[in-house]
Structure formats: structure tokens, C-alpha cells
Structure 1
Amino acid sequence: MSASEDPVRVAEELRSAMGDFVRHVREHDTMPRSQTAVLGHLDRAGALSIAELARRERVRHQSMTRTVGLLAEQGLVTLGPGEADRRQVVVTVTPEGVRRLDAERRHRAGFIAAALDTLNGEERAVVARIPAVLRKLMGD
């Protein structure tokens, strides 16, 4: 088996390249990653408690409270009491928050599309297959 066929080596190269690519794209984001991540969770899952958002992002409750506060100041989320426990704070994305998230997603996609323009046809064909291959690796 050649070094290029060693599954562990291929896995490490894939992990490294994906990490580098994500960091490169994020360098051009227009809003902080923590805020984009929270808006994304709320957009996909609906209203969530601060505790649940902190769990999903693997940050302390205090850190998530700060992030949610910044989003609320911008009018991108609203805060309200929980239905089952009125002491719990539930966060809901606003229509402006959805618009801002969509704009950030379009900005990222546009940045990636511009980078794709630097590839030749064969390379673009390979890249076009990557999303399906990654989903297969995830078991989807």
C-alpha cells in the first residue's frame, strides 16, 4: 500500500485541508462566527434556550448569554420566557436575523464561487462531487 493510499494518512490530509479551507473562508466573514453559528442553530431548529445554544456550541452559559445579548442589541434575535419554565430564557431569530444570516451565507458562497473560477474544468468537476462524498462519509 502506498503512502497516498494509507487511510489514516488520507484522513489526516483531508482533516487538515478542510480545516484550512474553513478558516480561509471565515477570514472573509462579515460577522463574528459565534453570532453566525447562533443564528444558524435558530434558523434550523427554531427557538432555543440559551442553555441549549451553549450546549450546541460547547461554550459556557455566560459566553452564550453575551453572544445572544449582542444579537439582541442588533435586532437579530428576541428573548422571551420559556413555556415550561418561565425563568428560562428562550431565543428566537427575527426576520432581520434570517435576512442577515442569508446575506452571510450568500457572501460565503460568493467567495467560494470566485475561488472555483480559478480551477480548470476537471478540478471543478472533482469539487462538484465533494459535497455528496462528504455526506456519504457522514452516513447520510
Structure 2
Amino acid sequence: MTAVDTDLSAALAADLRLLLGQLQRRLRAEVPPGDLTHSQLAVMFHLERGEAATVTELARAEGVRPQSMGATVAALQQLGLVVGGPHASDKRRTTLRLSAAGHALIAQRRAAREDWLQRTLRARLLPGEQADLARSVELLRRLVRP
């Protein structure tokens, strides 16, 4: 690898990090959190991505104390977005999962963000540019694959 290649990859890495951060913030701005905190949304997205979890497992995943996570989960349960049930192997523990309303809220938020992005792509990029972007998306996929 030459110095030019190293310089190009370093500049590209910095540009991608900045642009992807800006895109993420813009997508978040399209769907205001409403009455939910960032922590509550993070828990909901965690439960949606994986299987059901306990308060302790969620606290570990989000890097907070179990007591703090307990308060977050309690608020989500009160809103009807998360439900708890007996743990499969330890009946003293409660396993949490998204309720139907929780799944619906996430789907609604995701649809709003994708709608904004689709409208913006059509408005700001010519068809050929959209094709270029589609090829770039495949390259980005290769970056995140294990």
C-alpha cells in the first residue's frame, strides 16, 4: 500500500464517519422522540433486534446500572410498549419483550424515516446518481460484514 493509498483511505474514513453521523442525526430529527427518552428508545430497539431480555441483561447491554434500567423498563411497561413474563429457566426472573404496541411504534418510526429518505433521494438525486449510490451502498455493506 502506498502513501497515497493510505492518505486516501484515511480521508475517506473521516469523511464517511462524518457523513454517516450527519445522516443518522437527520434521520433521528425526522421522527422526534415524542414522550420517550433516548434510553427508552434504546431499550425498545434492543428488544426488537434480539430476543427477550431481563432488566439485568438490558442494563449490561446499555452500560447502565440495573436500578436505572428498572426505572426505564417500568416506564415502558406503564406505556404498554414492553411486557414482562416468566423467564424460561428461572421463574424468579422476568423476561421482557416488546408488546404489539411497541412493535407498531418502532415500525411507524422506521417508516417515517424511510419515507423522508426516499423523498429526499428522489428530490435531490438524478436517476443515474441514485444508481451510483446503490452501488456505493453495496460497498458499504461489505465494510460492515464480519
TM-score category of the 2 structures, normalised to the smaller one: 0.7 to 0.9
Residues 1:52 and 2:54 aligned together = no
Shift of 1:73: 1.3
Q: Distance in 2 between matches of 1:48 and 1:131?
A: 32
**In the TM superposition, what are the counterparts of 1:33-52 in structure 2 within 5 Å?**
33-52=38-57
Structure 2's unaligned 5+ residue stretches are none
**In the TM superposition, what are the counterparts of 1:58-69 in structure 2 within 5 Å?**
58-69=63-74
Shift of 1:2: 5.2
Structure 1's unaligned 5+ residue stretches are none
Equivalent of residue 132 in structure 1, options 123, 131, 138:
138
TM-score normalised per structure 2? 0.79
Matched residue of 2:83: which SS?
strand
Shift of 1:120: 1.9
Q: Distance in 1 between matches of 2:68 and 2:128?
A: 45
Aligned to 1:25: 27
Of structures 1 and 2, the larger Rg is shown by 2
TM-score normalised per structure 1? 0.82
**In the TM superposition, what are the counterparts of 1:1-140 in structure 2 within 5 Å?**
6-31=8-33, 32=36, 33-117=38-122, 118-140=124-146
Q: Distance in 1 between matches of 2:118 and 2:28?
A: 14
Number of aligned residue pairs: 140
Compute the RMSD of aligned alpha carbons.
2.4
Q: Distance in 2 between matches of 1:104 and 1:94?
A: 15
- % of aligned pairs identical? 33
Matched residue of 2:85: which SS?
strand
Assess if the C-alpha contact under 8 Å between 1:4 and 1:10 holds in 2: no
